[in-house]
């Protein structure tokens, strides 16, 4: 959850990824997603947490970085020369974007109607 929130932080005009909504999304994602995307997300989070030395953000895991160092780590990971590290950032941004784009506060800030509740009838088949 920390990695997803760090990937899409708040700005002056638009809120970032909400930790509460992110936790709900991750619970549902763990139940409903196929094994390979779940594995990819877990690996991406582990790499994000362990790669601050590779981005010059410090020697501690990303979980223990200051907000400034965390922002620098996230930014440098997205533009790292190693393709596989950039892909970690892409995976995290994709998952964070799913949470962020469905948040009613974000949609209101962008002058959009909130999504209707998920009927979830397709899960019952």
How many domains does one find in the chain? 1
* Residue 118 in domain: no
Q: What is the pTM of this model?
A: 0.87
pLDDT digits (tens, 9 = 90+) for 55-67: 999 899 999 999 9
Nearest to 24 by CA among 1, 48, 57: 1
Please state at what angle helix 67-78 crosses helix 83-102, rounded to 10 degrees.
120
pLDDT per position as a tens digit, 12-30: 999 999 999 999 999 999 9
User: Is 116 domain-assigned?
Assistant: no
Task: Print the domain residue range for 56.
Answer: 2-7+17-110
Average pLDDT, the chain: 92
For 96-120, the pLDDT digits (tens) are 999 999 999 999 999 999 988 877 6
Residue 54 belongs to a domain? yes
What whole-number distance in Å separates Cα of residue 82 and Cα of residue 123? 39
- Residue 64, in any domain of the structure: yes
Cβ atoms of 77 and 91 within 8 Å: the answer is no
């Amino acid at each position: 959850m920390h990695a997803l929130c760090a990937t899409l932080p708040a700005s002056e005009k638009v809120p970032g990824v909400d930790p509460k909504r992110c936790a709900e999304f991750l619970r549902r994602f763990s139940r409903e997603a196929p094994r390979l995307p779940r594995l990819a997300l877990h690996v991406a989070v582990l790499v994000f947490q362990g790669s601050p030395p590779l981005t010059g953000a410090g020697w501690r895991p990303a979980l223990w970085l200051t907000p400034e160092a965390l922002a620098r780590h996230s930014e440098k990971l997205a533009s790292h020369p190693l393709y596989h590290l950039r892909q970690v950032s892409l995976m995290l941004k994709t998952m964070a974007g799913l949470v962020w784009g469905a948040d009613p506060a974000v949609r209101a800030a962008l002058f959009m109607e909130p999504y209707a509740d998920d009927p979830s009838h397709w899960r019952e088949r």
